[in-house]
Structure 1
Amino acid sequence: MPYFLLILTALFWAGNFVLSRGMHAAIPPLALSFWRWAVALLLLLIITRQHLRAQWPMFRLHCRYIVVQGLLGVFGFTTLLYFAMQYTTVINAGLVNSCTPVLIVLFSRLLYRETVQPRQWCGVLLSLAGVLWTMAKGELTALWQVSLNQGDLLILTAAVIWALYSARLKRYPHGLHPLAYLTFISIIGLLAIFPFYLAEIQAGYRVAINPATVLTIGYVALFASVVAFIFWNAAVRAIGPAKASPFVHLMPVFSAVLAVLFLDEPLTRYHAQGAALIFSGIFMTTFHGRRGRTL
C-alpha cells in the first residue's frame, strides 16, 4: 500500500509542476503558494476539527518539530518551487529536482545513521539515469547543452529543503494524527508566507481571476497539497525515507504522460526507455532476495 501511495503522490506533484509553469504568467508565485495552502487549510479544518482539539497537547509537546516541518515543507519548498518556475522550464526543473532522492538518502544517513544498502544506492542511481535519459530525449549529448539559471538554482535549493523535510519524518511523533499534523504545518507555513504575499501585492502583482486560475489553485490545494502530503507522509513513515525517495523519479514520467494527454505532445521511445530504467531502479531499491522481500 505505501508504494501505491507514492506512485499517486508522484502523479499529483507532476501535475503541480506542469500547472505552475503553465500558469506562471497568470498567478504570481507567492499568490499561488499562499492560496494553495489557504484553500488546503480550509479543507483540512473542515475534516479535522475534532482531531485538532484532541491533538492540541501533542502540538504543544512537539511544537519545535512541527514548526520546523511547516517552515521546510510548506513555506520553504513550495515558495521556492513557484519562484523557480518563473525562470526555468519544466525540463530543467525535472533535471535538477531529480537529485532529491539522493539528497534524502544522504540526509537520512547523516542525521539518523540510517543504513543504506549498496543495492539501494544502485537503485537510486539507476532511476536517476532514467530521469536523465527522459529529460535528454534519448540523446545524452543534449544534457551538456542545458545551462543552469537562477530558476534551476532555486529548484536545487528547494530539493535540499524537501529532502531535509522528508528525512526528518523518521522522527515523526508517535500518536500525532496525520491530518492534525498536516493542519498544523499548513498553519505554520501560511503564517510564514503571508507577509511575503502582502509584499507581492504591494509590488503590484495580482492574480488574474478566471476559470483556469481557479481550477489551478483548486488542483494544487486538494491534490498537490492535502492528498499528496498525506500520502507522502504516511508512506515515508511506513517504509523509510531511503526506500521512498526513488519514487520522486516518477514525476518526469508522469509529466510526459500528462503532456501527451493534455498538450498533444507525442509519446516516444525514449519515454518508454526512461520509464523502464526508473521502475527498475525503484524495484531494486524496494525489493531484494529470492522471494521479493522488502528492504
Structure 2
Amino acid sequence: MASARDSQHSLFAVDAITMAGRHCRSCVMSSAALRPLWPVLFVILWSTGFIGAKFGLPYAEPLTFLLVRYGCTALLLTLLALAMRAPWPGNWRMVAHLAVTGLLVHAVYLAGVFSAISHGLSPGLTALVVGLQPILTAVLAAAWLKTPVGPRQWGGLLLSLAGVTMTVWPRLSIGHDMLPLLLPVVAALFGITLGTLYQKRFVPHFDWRTGGVVQFTACALATGAVAPWFESMHIVWNGSFAFALGWLVLVLSIGAISLLNWLIRHGESVGVASLFYLTPPTTALMAFALFGERLTPLAIAGMAVVAAGVVLARR
C-alpha cells in the first residue's frame, strides 16, 4: 500500500511540475518586459548557424549533414513532446500545412545554402543573395497576404539592404564560375520567404514541439530520398562534427526555430523578415571573435546602417 501511495504521489508531483513548467513558459514568452528580447535572441542564435556549418561541413557532405540533423531534431522533439504531453495537430490538413512549411523553411533553404557554400560560393555572396529575403517578403506579403507596407518600412528595408552590402563587400567575390552556384541560393531565398508567408497564412498557431516533429520528419524523409542520389553519405565522426551537429540541433533547429515560429505568430511578416538583415553583421562579429576574420571600417559602418534600417522597418 505504501508503495502504491508513493507511486501515486510521484505521479501527482510529475503532473504538477509539468503544469507549472507549461505555465512558466507561457508567462515568460508572453511577458511584456521580455518580448523585446526575443527578436534579439533569435538573431544571435540564427547567426550561429553559419558558424556551426563552418565547423561541420568539412566532415560531411551537405545533404548528409542535414539528414542527420533533421533526424536528431525530430527524435528529440518527439521525446520532448511525449514527456510534456504536448498537443498534437488536430487533423491531417494541419499536418500537411506543417510539412509544407518545414520543407520550405528548413529543407529548401538549408539545402540551398549548405550546397552552395560547400561547392565554393563565397559566404559574402551567399549572405547578399539571402539578404534579399525581407524585400521579397514585403513584395509577396503585399500581394498574397494583403499586408500593407508603408514608405517607412520600404525605406528601412532598402537601407538595411545597403548596409548588408557594405558589411559583406570585403568578402564578396563574383566570377563566371560562381553563377551556376547562385541557383541553389536563389532557391534557398524563395524557400524561406515562401515558407514563412505560408506559415503565417495557413498555420500560424501550433505547438512548437509537435509541430516541429512534423516539420523535421518531413525534411528527413525528403532529404533521405534525395541525398543518396547525389552524395556518398560518408561522415567523418569526430569531436568537431559532433559539436557542430549538437549545436545545430539544439540551438538552431530547436531554439532558434521555436523563436522564429513565435515571432511569425505574434508579428507582421515584413517586421519579422527584417530581422534577417541583422544576420550577416552578427555572423561577421562572431567570425571576428572566433576565427580572427578581419573587420574593415566599411563593414563596421554597414552594421550600423543595417541596425538603423531594421529599427525603421519595424516601427
* TM surpasses 0.5: yes
Give the C-alpha shift of residue 267 in structure 1.
3.4
- CA contact 2:86–2:210 (8 Å) conserved in 1: no
Please, what is the CA RMSD of the aligned residues?
2.2
1:215 aligns with 2:248: no
Question: In structure 2, how many angstroms separate the alpha carbons of the residues matched to 1:76 and 1:224?
Answer: 16
Give the C-alpha shift of residue 59 in structure 1.
4.1
> Paired residue for 2:26?
none
1:181 aligns with 2:214: no
Give the C-alpha shift of residue 284 in structure 1.
0.5
> Paired residue for 2:100?
68
* Partner SS state of residue 133, structure 1: helix
- CA contact 1:44–1:183 (8 Å) conserved in 2: yes
Question: In structure 2, how many angstroms separate the alpha carbons of the residues matched to 1:146 and 1:278?
Answer: 22
> Paired residue for 2:157?
124
Give the C-alpha shift of residue 8 in structure 1.
2.4
Of the structure 1 ranges 22-31 and 246-255, higher mean CA displacement relative to structure 2 is found in 22-31
> Paired residue for 1:107?
140
Question: In structure 2, how many angstroms separate the alpha carbons of the residues matched to 1:70 and 1:175?
Answer: 14
Give the C-alpha shift of residue 114 in structure 1.
0.9
* Partner SS state of residue 57, structure 2: coil
* Partner SS state of residue 191, structure 2: helix
Question: In structure 1, how many angstroms separate the alpha carbons of the residues matched to 2:223 and 2:122?
Answer: 24
1:90 aligns with 2:123: yes
- CA contact 1:108–1:242 (8 Å) conserved in 2: yes
The aligned amino acid for 1:245 is: A
| 1:243-264 alpha-carbon deviations (Å, 9 max, x no partner) | 1111101111111111111111
Give the C-alpha shift of residue 127 in structure 1.
0.7
> Paired residue for 2:110?
78
Q: TM-score, with normalisation over the residues of structure 1?
A: 0.86
- CA contact 1:86–1:151 (8 Å) conserved in 2: no
- CA contact 2:227–2:233 (8 Å) conserved in 1: no
In structure 2, the CA distance between the partners of 1:261 and 1:243, relative to structure 1 (3 Å rule), is same
1:268-283 equivalence runs, <5 A: 268-283=296-311
Question: In structure 1, how many angstroms separate the alpha carbons of the residues matched to 2:125 and 2:55?
Answer: 14
Greater gyration radius: 2
Question: In structure 2, how many angstroms separate the alpha carbons of the residues matched to 1:51 and 1:254?
Answer: 34
Question: In structure 2, how many angstroms separate the alpha carbons of the residues matched to 1:133 and 1:244?
Answer: 22
Question: In structure 2, how many angstroms separate the alpha carbons of the residues matched to 1:112 and 1:167?
Answer: 8
> Paired residue for 1:162?
192
Question: In structure 1, how many angstroms separate the alpha carbons of the residues matched to 2:284 and 2:86?
Answer: 43
Question: In structure 2, how many angstroms separate the alpha carbons of the residues matched to 1:51 and 1:172?
Answer: 26
Q: TM-score, with normalisation over the residues of structure 2?
A: 0.81
| 1:146-193 alpha-carbon deviations (Å, 9 max, x no partner) | 334333321121011100011122225465222221221111111111
Question: In structure 1, how many angstroms separate the alpha carbons of the residues matched to 2:302 and 2:115?
Answer: 28
- CA contact 1:51–1:177 (8 Å) conserved in 2: no
Question: In structure 2, how many angstroms separate the alpha carbons of the residues matched to 1:71 and 1:275?
Answer: 31
Question: In structure 1, how many angstroms separate the alpha carbons of the residues matched to 2:182 and 2:232?
Answer: 25
| 1:23-67 alpha-carbon deviations (Å, 9 max, x no partner) | 4332101111111111111221121116677324x2424233122
- CA contact 1:52–1:180 (8 Å) conserved in 2: no
> Paired residue for 2:166?
133
Structure 1: give runs of 5+ residues left out of the alignment.
288-295
Residue of 225, 230, 245 corresponding to 1:195: 225
The aligned amino acid for 1:125 is: L
In structure 2, the CA distance between the partners of 1:230 and 1:186, relative to structure 1 (3 Å rule), is same
In structure 2, the CA distance between the partners of 1:43 and 1:102, relative to structure 1 (3 Å rule), is same
Structure 2: give runs of 5+ residues left out of the alignment.
1-33
> Paired residue for 1:290?
none
Aligned residues: 279
1:224 aligns with 2:257: no
Question: In structure 2, how many angstroms separate the alpha carbons of the residues matched to 1:234 and 1:37?
Answer: 20
The aligned amino acid for 1:214 is: A
Runs of 4+ in 1 over 6 A off after TM superposition: none
